[in-house]
Homo-oligomer: A and B are copies of this chain.
Amino acid sequence: MWSKWLAALLALALLAPAAAQEEDGYDLWLRYRPLAGAERAAVLRQARELVAPALPSPTVQAALAELRRGVQGMTGLAPADGKRARAGAIVLGTPASLPPALRPTGLDRLGNEGYVIRRIAGATVIAAHTDTGLLYGAFAWLRAVGTGVAPHRVDERSAPRLQQRLLDHWDNLDRSVERGYAGESIWDWWGLPGVRDPRYIDYARANASLGINGTVLNNVNAKPEILTAPWIAKAAALADVLRPYGIKVYLSARFSTPLELNETATADPLAPEVAAWWRRKADEIYRAIPDFGGFLVKANSEGQPGPQDYRRSHADGANMLAAAVAPHGGIVMWRAFVYAAENPVDRAKQAYDEFQPLDGRFAPNVLVQVKNGPIDFQPREPFHPLFGAMPRTPLMLEFQVTKEYLGYATHMAYLGSMFEETLQSDTGHAPGLTVARVIEGAQAGHPTGMAGVANIGSSRTWSGSHFDQANWYAYGRLAWNPQGSSRAIAREWVAQTFTRAPRALDDIVVMMMDSRDAVVNYMTPLGLHHIMGTGHHHGPAPWVAELARPEWNPVYYHKADRGGIGFDRTASGSNALAQYAPAIARRYADPATTPDTLLLWFHHLPWDRPMPSGRTLWAELVARYDLGVMQARGLRTRWAALAPFVDARRHAEVAQRLDVQVEEAQWWRDACIAYFQSVSGLALPPGSRPPARTLEYYKALRVPYAPGHG
C-alpha cells in the first residue's frame, strides 16, 4: 500500500514541473483544460474575438480576462480584442452599450445581477444591466462550455433569487480558523495591507463564478481589534481586491467592542454613548470601504456578550447597530443561534423561544440568520422551526460548508444533497412554503440572503480535499438559486473539475450523492445527533456524560437507557414539536408517520420496537451502522475503478482520504455499537460482527491537537 504510494509519487516526480503541478486542485472548477478536435474547433469558431464597451471597468476587465483565460486554456489560442460585434465574437454589453440590433430579449426584470446569453447574428451576446451581471454572464458561458454545451448553443437567462449570497469565514486574527480543516486562514492579516497575496484574486474569481457577492472576513466569535484602525485598513485592502469581482466585505462585530476598547463605559445598546460610538465607527469604516456590506453578530450565545447582558432584547441590539450602518446602506446579520447555560429547556427550542416573539420588531436592514436546523450543523437535522414562523422578519439561512461534524476534510461528504433537503422542506405554514421560499422572501418584500460558513483555507486545494471543493461550489450555486438540484449541480461540478467522460462522470456523481448518507449512517443514523467527541467533534463519544452543561453531553441528545433510545420532543417530552406548523407537528408527533431518518430526533422508543423493515429498533440501529461502513467501502471501491479517468495525483490524494474514511467509519460503527449495547444489554443481531475492541478501548481514545479549534 505504502510503497505503492511512494512509487506513484516517484512516478509523479518524473513529470515536468508544470505537468506535476497542474492537477494539484488549485484551479478548482476553473481549470479550462485543453480541448481537442471538434470541441476545440467549436470553441474557436465562437470565441475568435472579445468585444466589450469602451473604457471597460475593472469588473468588465475581469470578465474579459476570464474569458481570455478560459478560451486560451481550452484552445491554446487567445481571442483577439474585437472592436465591433460579428459572427464568432463574444460581445459583452449593457442595454446602453449594445447596438439595438444586438440587444437580446429577456433583459426586463433581470435585476442588477442577472444576465442573458443569446446568439445574435452569429455573435454570442452576453448582456446585463450592470458590469457585475456581465461578469456573471462571462462565467456562465465558461461554465456552459465547460460542462459540454456546444458553444453555439449556449442560450441562458438567469438572475439570483437571493440578494445576499455570503461566505462567513470563521477566521481569527492570528490566522487560525475555527472549525477550519483546510489549513490556516487565506487572509494574511499580518502582511496586510502592505502585502497582498495574489491568491485573493483567485478567491474572488472562484466566488464570482458562483455569484457569491459578499464575504464576512472574520470569525463570528469576534475580537474587538477587528474594528480598530489597523484592521480596518487591512479589511479595506481586501475590499479593494474583491470589489471588481462584485464581492462586498462584511465584518463580524463583537457586541461589547466599545466597552472592551475602553471607549465607552457600557455596551448597553440603549445608552446614547454606545449608539454614538457605533455610528462613528460605521462612518470610519465607510470612509475606508465605501461599499462595506455591514456587520454579522453572534450575541448572547455560547458566552458571547450581547444586549441581554443589559436586559435588552436581540431586537434592541440589532436595531442599534442597524441604525449605525443604515445611512450608508449597510445591513446587520443577527444570528439566531443562541442557547444559554442557565436554560433547562431543550436546546432545540431556545432559538425559537427567544426570536419568534420578536417577529416584526427588527429594523428593515436587519436579517436574522438562522441555521438550517435547531441544534448545530449535524449530519442530519430537521429544518429549523423559525422558518415560516417569522413572516414579518427577513430570515437568512446559514449553512455550514466546512464539515465540523461530518469528518472534517478527510471524509467524503457531498453537502449539496443536505442543503437541498433543508431548502425543499415544507414548513407547513402555507401551501408550498418551503424553506427555500421562506428565505426568498415569499412572505414579504424582504431583503433576502444565504450564508455559508466557509471551508476555505490556505490548503493548496483551498478546501482541504478535492471533493470538499464541491461543497463550496454547491453552496454558491444554491445561494444563487435555492430551487436548484443538488444532483445537477454535482454533475456540473464533476464535468468542470474531473471529467466529462459519461460513465466516469456518472460514477463520481453517484459517489457524491451517496456520500452524505454514508456519513449519517456510520455516525448518527435514525435521527441520532451530537454524539461526537467533546470539543473537537471528531469521532464517536456517545458515552460522554460528565460535562458541566447538560447540552454539552452526548447522553443529553440520545437519552439511551435500558428501556430505549431517542429524544422525546413530542408533547410527552420537550414538545419542541409545538414550534412547527400544525401539519408538520402532527406528522412528527407519531413515530409511525415520522420519517425514520428523524425517528430518534423526535421520539424515545423501546429497543424492541418493530420497524418497517421488520427488524427491532435495536437490530435496525446496528444494521444502519453496518450499512454506513459498507457505503464507505463502496466509495473506496468505486473510486479505485475511476483511476483511468482521473490524473494520478488527484486520484491518489482522494484514495488516501477514502482509506482513512473507511477506517474511521469502522471506528464509529464499532464504538457506537459497543456503547449502545452496554446500555441496551441486548445481544448483537445474528450475523453482525462484534466491535473489534472493548468499549473501554474506545472510551480511552484521545485525539490531541485536532484542527479547527479557533
Contact = CB atoms under 8 A, between A and B. Distances in A.
Interface of A: 2, 5-6, 9-10, 12-18, 20-22, 24, 26-27, 30-32, 58, 61-62, 65-66, 68-69, 72-73, 78, 172-176, 183-184, 189-191, 194-196, 198-199, 201, 205, 225, 237, 240-241, 244, 408, 410, 458, 460, 649, 653, 656-657, 659-660, 663, 704-707, 709
14 contacts: A14-B69, A16-B72, A17-B32, A18-B22, A21-B26, A175-B705, A176-B176, A183-B184, A184-B184, A190-B408, A191-B410, A194-B659, A194-B663, A196-B656
A707 B205 contact: no
Contact of A13 (B32, B62, B78): B62
Given A5-B196, A69-B13, A183-B184, A707 B175 contact: yes
A58 B649 contact: no
Q: How many copies does the complex hold?
A: 2
A196 B460 CA distance: 13
A10 B61 contact: yes
A194 B656 contact: yes
Nearest to A32: B17
Contacts of A58: 6, 10
Contact of A21 (B20, B21, B189): B21
A218 to B, nearest CB: 11
Given A13-B62, A174-B707, A175-B705, 7 more contacts: A9-B198, A10-B61, A13-B69, A16-B73, A184-B458, A190-B705, A225-B705
A195 B12 CA distance: 16
A69 B458 contact: no
A12 B12 CA distance: 28
A196 B659 CA distance: 12
Contacts of A190: 408, 705-707
Contacts of A13: 62, 65-66, 69, 201, 205
B14 A705 contact: no
> Lowest 10 CB-CB distances: which A-B pairs, in order?
A194-B660, A13-B65, A173-B705, A174-B705, A16-B72, A184-B184, A14-B65, A190-B707, A195-B656, A9-B201
Nearest to A5: B196
Contacts of A410: 191, 194-195
Contacts of A189: 705
A10 to B, nearest CB: 5
A62 B14 CA distance: 8
A241 B69 contact: no
Between A58, A184, A205, A460, the greatest number of chain B beta carbons within 10 A of the residue's beta carbon is seen for A184
Contacts of A66: 13
Contacts of A78: 16
Contacts of A194: 410, 656-657, 659-660, 663
Nearest to A9: B201
B458 A183 contact: yes
Contacts of A198: 9, 12, 24, 649, 653
Nearest to A33: B17
Contacts of A706: 190
A175 B12 CA distance: 26
A17 B25 CA distance: 12
Nearest to A14: B65
Nearest to A190: B707
B14 A68 contact: yes
A530 to B, nearest CB: 22
Contacts of A237: 2
Contact of A660 (B72, B173, B195): B195
Given A32-B17, A175-B707, A240-B2, A10 B191 contact: no
Contacts of A656: 194-196
A13 B241 CA distance: 12
A460 B66 CA distance: 23
A240 to B, nearest CB: 6
Contacts of A241: 6, 9
Contacts of A704: 173, 225
Between A65, A191, A201, the greatest number of chain B beta carbons within 10 A of the residue's beta carbon is seen for A191
Contacts of A174: 705, 707, 709
Contacts of A225: 704-705
Contacts of A26: 21
B196 A15 contact: no
Contacts of A408: 190
A364 to B, nearest CB: 34
A10 B62 contact: yes
A307 B171 CA distance: 41
Nearest to A24: B198
